[in-house]
Amino acid sequence: MLRVGLFIPCYVDQLFPQVGMATVRLLERLGVEVDFPEAQTCCGQPMANTGCTDEARPLAVKFLQIFKDYEYVVCPSGSCAAMVRHHYAEYLAGQPGFEELRGKTYELCEFLTDVLKVDKLPGRFPYRVGLHQSCHGLRELRLGSSSEIVGPAFGKARQLLELIDGVELVPLERPDECCGFGGTFAVNEAAISAMMGQDRVRDHEQAGAEVLTANDMSCLMHLDGLIRREGKPIRVLHIAEILAGAET
Amino acid sequence: MSADHAAAAAAFVADEPRTHWHDGALWFVRAKRDKAAQSLPEWELLRETASQIKGHTISQLADYLEQFERNAVRLGAQVHWARNAAEHNEIVLGILERHGVKRLVKSKSMLTEECHLNPFLEQHGIAVVDTDLGERIVQLAGEAPSHIVLPAIHKKKEDVGEIFHRHLHTAAGASDPKYLAEAARQHLREKFMEADAGLTGVNFAIAETGGFVVCTNEGNADLGVSLPKLHVASMGIEKLIPRAADLGVFLRLLARSATGQPITTYSSHFHGPRPGGELHIVLVDNGRSEILASDEFRRSLNCIRCGACMNTCPVYRRSGGHSYGTTVPGPIGSILAPARDAAAHGSLPFACSLCGSCTDVCPVKIDLHHQLLAWRKEIAHRGLLPRSKRWSMKLASLVLGNSRLYTLAGKLARAIVPRLPRFMIYNRLNAWGQKRELPVFPQQSFRELYRLSREQGNGEQVATDFTDAADERPKA
């Protein structure tokens, strides 16, 4: 049995526990042994993205200590997984266990498609679903093909959603435009951030989405905040909730 | 930080219909670019080749510059070296004064914008006319270009009609693009006829030949230097490529990336002065050597100024070029400007959601969003972060660095925030809440639920219960 260290983003832990629980449920149903090391807090991305490397470093060091002995590290966030894989070298290069950590840290969907090689999933979700492709998952982890690059089209989240009975993915006008969350950008540039989010929501709306989903709860927190403020009839769910069989 | 992008952007966004129009106009260009790129199966190979050619050239820039100078001189051009904007402007003025030039026509040159050449020459009694249509529009409006390829992209046709009515005496209220373009054509033709000298930028200078190429869609570079006897070409030192054979790689990438055209309408090659004329090439450093010396930011010198990063940037499209307060706006501008003055342009690397679209669209593969991130670090290390950002990150690191403190803080927030009256959460101090609701705070954290589920040995049940409960979250 595969043993996985579960890496739950800090804001998911504190604000969206249902996403963490859905991740556990999904992995366990697929026969994976899940362990959540309670010493974990945050990967340090908010500090790193503000330029505060001195503040981010201790969190990276702590992360390595906590997760280095697991066979795999799995995270229901492309952005946080990308932090470990693509931005930790600055803090941890040369440290024992770091190269291995980098290689064995996966975003949830790619863990399912690339490691577990999942080709069927139970459950039924009879809704029109709009898939928001979170940028760091898309352009840092390459969980899918981005619209700028010329090459074969693919998408790991899409591939998994298509396994769920009843899911109808709706076509968007701009399939991979940023939602405008961007971490501290959401408050530093609040006006632009909000308009970017409103524009994304409108695209899902015109496509007829009933449910809006993504690999990253941070994008969804932002979009859901706009949707609820404007009273729009779109429901927001993390992809783990759909894949784990959210009955609605 | 003097120039604050967020404030300027908020002002732009305040006119929502106009912002959507601006976003749509640029997205249209981005979509055309996608189609043009997709038409070449070897697109990614071209990008990689271009990136390597530029990387190689930049790594031996001094040698290539000297080779270019030797060959350009051999062809009869005169080559000048300018350390900075002031030297560039003095050199150009000197050349023009020696020839008694009173009227200068210019084709598009972002470098002369960077050096603020126009006001300098005008102070010295030389009339300068920008002959690129977009640049002429902003020049008449008394503004700077808001985009490096589409200088007047922020102007609607009605705005242009108004400007032309005022300056070119077109009919009041006329906004038909064909009519306005014809008026501009007649007006510019007169300026071309009267000009004593022409100034162009340079898109690519070729070391092995000493020639250079200027790309335009309007043919204004050719007109501007074909009538007068004097041609001045201003170029940044990073514009070099080693061989004529390399040119094809860049010409195929440039127009496709910029506007989705297979190639610009005119690719004009200049090899020395025309018979009886003079050609002066001014090589300008103006901070480029410092960027060259930086391992982190050197790759930004690969830039061929196609503007694709602007067209694709979701922030640029919604905040307009002027919100950046720099000659080159958008992602690449937000890397180049802090190199010149990090204190003045410190907000620009933060005017970015780090979505990475610029990196994927860039024809010379500059890792733009990683460079923007690197600038954030540089700004923090130089102590240029605003105090609020500095301290909030210190506090966050303290709390997040200690799992007990972190758990406690989360618990307190989840206990207190849902009990607060709305006005205490949603007010001017809460930037998040201006347009957005906060998440509905759950009663328990994931770690609490997880522990409970392990204790009960029944993760499924607890989880399912919670999902149901979450579905009944109150709607605001």
From the list B355, B361, B380, which residue is nearest A51 (CB)? B380
d(CA B434, CA B397): 26
Average pLDDT for residues A208-217, to the nearest whole number? 98
**pLDDT above 60: residue B68:** yes
**Tokens 């009955």 belong to residue:** A247
Phi and psi, residue B105, nearest 5°: -105, 140
Average pLDDT for residues A160-183, to the nearest whole number? 98
Neighbours of B115 (CB within 10 A): 23
pLDDT of residue A247: 57
pLDDT-based confidence at residue B458 (cuts at 50, 70, 90): low
**Is B9 within 8 Å of A191 when comparing Cβ atoms?**
yes
Please state whether beta strands B103-106 and B230-236 pair in parallel, antiparallel, or not at all (unpaired). Answer: unpaired
Q: Which residues of B are less than 8 Å from A15 in CB distance?
A: 439, 441-442
Largest Cα separation within chain B, whole Å, is 94
**Is B414 within 8 Å of A14 when comparing Cβ atoms?**
yes
Residues 437-466 of B with CB under 8 A from A: 437-439, 441-442, 444-451, 453, 459-460, 462-464, 466
**Is B34 within 8 Å of A148 when comparing Cβ atoms?**
yes
State pLDDT tens for residues B460-470: 544 444 343 34
pLDDT-based confidence at residue A246 (cuts at 50, 70, 90): low
Q: Rounded to an integer, what is the distance from CA A163 to the centroid of its chain?
A: 18
- Closest residue in chain B to residue A146, using alpha carbons only: B360
pLDDT of residue B465: 40
Q: Beta-strand (E) ranges in chain A?
A: 3-6, 33-35, 72-75, 105-107, 128-132, 168-169, 211-214, 235-238
**Is A13 within 8 Å of B403 when comparing Cβ atoms?**
no
**Is A21 within 8 Å of B361 when comparing Cβ atoms?**
no
Q: Which residues of B are less than 8 Å from A197 in CB distance?
A: 435-436
Q: Which residues of B are less than 8 Å from A91 in CB distance?
A: none
**Is B356 within 8 Å of A198 when comparing Cβ atoms?**
no
Return the bridge partners of B148, or none. none
pLDDT of residue B3: 59
The pTM score is 0.95
pLDDT of residue B461: 45
State pLDDT tens for residues B408-432: 999 999 999 999 999 889 998 899 9
**Is A15 within 8 Å of B439 when comparing Cβ atoms?**
yes
Neighbours of B114 (CB within 10 A): 20
Q: Are A148 and A179 in contact (CB under 8 A)?
A: no
- Closest residue in chain A to residue B462, using alpha carbons only: A21
Q: Which three-class secondary structure state does DSSP give residue A212? A: strand
For A128-243, the fitting CATH number among 1.20.120, 3.40.190, 1.10.600, 3.40.50 is: 3.40.50
pLDDT above 90: percentage of residues in chain A: 98
State pLDDT tens for residues B112-123: 999 999 999 999
**Is A139 within 8 Å of B356 when comparing Cβ atoms?**
yes
Return the bridge partners of A75, or none. A107
**Is A47 within 8 Å of B397 when comparing Cβ atoms?**
yes
A239 DSSP assignment: H
State pLDDT tens for residues B10-59: 999 999 999 999 999 999 999 999 999 999 999 999 999 999 999 999 99
The domain ranges of chain B are 40-286
**pLDDT above 50: residue B1:** no
Q: In what order do the strands lie in the sheet with A33-35?
A: A33-35, A3-6, A72-75, A105-107
Say whether the ipTM exceeds 0.90. yes
Average pLDDT for residues B280-305, to the nearest whole number? 97
Q: Which residues of A are less than 8 Å from B394 in CB distance?
A: 52, 55
Burial class of residue A59 (count of CB atoms within 10 Å of its CB; 0-12, 13-18, 19+): buried
Q: Which helix (H) or strand (E) holds B3?
A: none
How many angstroms away from the CA of A75 is the closest CA of chain B? 14
d(CA A161, CA A129): 9
Average of per-residue pLDDT values in chain A: 97
Average of per-residue pLDDT values in chain B: 94
Q: What is the CATH number of domain B40-286?
A: 3.40.50.10420
